[in-house]
Structure 1
């Protein structure tokens, strides 16, 4: 990393790198100042360069498939503020989002849920109404369940030697939702690969129609656990893709419109109605005597894209799904490496500094993988020569 960042090196013939690292690297205060002022675009260029170097280590026939299977997730980061310390007395109140911590003007208050909830626009439905089953305040652990901080989102892939490397990363305040990371991360991935990856593994926080539609358009599929949210179970569809009502009848489309408000991106939605009453009542009664029948029949609203159907019809018990979802552990191993490098509790007090430190951390993880690959390649000819001599 010292070499790639361009620090002026102090020669040391006894060092394996040819220079003294401790004398070359600046002190903590200077490095913190650099992290606060350095544009993150410079470090994103380094990350792009590391990805290109990793691709160059592969045989030419594997370049086209590099990064074809990815996994993504977010990791919560604890801000370095007294509000996150339960033992610190704060008269004003530590969990008031309108009272920004003085030590870090960029961090935000957020909740780390034990199980992620489905996005509001999972399949284009209206956001569910609030409920009263929230966790009592007396049971909330400050610094564990709810805290001031940031979140780091990453997309990783696996190399043939088993090494996991980072293709994209993004750090934002902790109050932003997990699904909001999806499109910015995928834009980085497409820029570095030159194409869309075909297969992706994500946790249930990304159970949204646009995630499935993205990988469907790329020619593959997304392995994401189904999250029923507040509305319950899955929908059924007929062979033509029309939703089925509770009685198992295909519901015709009533209208479509462009939704610009309820989701992350504008998307087309469709409203479907009772087939016994639309377009005209046919005189047949509802087979299950549904209470809505007397009031105009059942209606449903959902996103009008393939991803909405795939979300409900994906075979999550099939072998293809299980094999792909098992690769989500790629993210966990990269997060473990980042945690070992001290990323979860950064000793910095500005959003840009924390984002830059995270970018440097992921570049370092990639360069370590590159070093292992090159060391293995250098050892292979030596082993071959030894075998021939024997």
Structure 2
């Protein structure tokens, strides 16, 4: 149906050129939306009354709408208006339910257990504003509050504000041994959001935070302090190229996200450092009901010989089944790839199965690039999972994955959560 409409629009444009007249949009009309404001849709749409009728711009608008958390699906129609060579464009919206709880639960065969629960509104005031918070139990209590409005000031310019008080028990690795520390991160962040165009966006901001380490158990060393309280400032820049297209639970296309951070510090035990991370994600439709998804993550930081290195090997971040923060490094290479297959679908519900391989390696703090090839740093975890999907509620994908390590000293375990793993 969509290709037929595009063909008709192209035919109209060609015919108009032959008669030296360009088809013009008489009006943009929005249908099907209830909570999402019509004014907001017209604010972010590039098709406006009086502009030339352009199928490329319409397609771009529809992709933009389908990326919104409040939209489950969108499509368009074009009809002649009263005046000659003018046309009404209709954007038809199928809305998501946008007040969503979030749940992440992870365990390992060592009987570790942690969870994070939250509640978020992804379409506050019908303006594509995300607002909510979370509570986390990972040995200790933590919480955070988040606000994000990509189109707060205009179609292209928005703002994000984040606060968190995060406390966990973290292993610190040094001299081929480790110790357990109570770690607290209290942070306040502000980000400016700017969209250059449909595919390219940038975020620039600053984060004021305090890190507190308190020794709890394990090995000790005169070179490793048992208590630290350090005030830091983090300067952040994120560039994203997004060419993804959504069709309910299916995704196609690719996205690249580059994240650069510069962290200052007032303590020589946690010195200032640079961190750069790049995520390349690729999605492909396989037949009518299959989806292949892959993410390659490359990370590099200042190579200080410190037990407090920035890249963590963790169940909920990069490798399913590996455990809760089992190692740290100053550089990382991680590949997550999986095949998602629809097993059942009817109406609003879909059941997906997936087979995955998560693999990665790390550079030891102060080490060389040869660390990536060391067997003790390589983790390979194949596994299987299920996805229970509500197609009309944003991100309502309950996932269960079981990862089984096949490399040296491997563990295994379940990872539960809301939303696809990546």
Q: Does the alignment reach a TM-score above 0.5?
A: no
Name the TM-score, length of structure 1 as normaliser. 0.23
Whichever of the two has the greater Rg, that structure is 1
Q: Which gives a bigger RCO, structure 1 or 2 (Cα 8 Å, sep 6+)?
A: 1
TM-score (norm. length: structure 2): 0.22
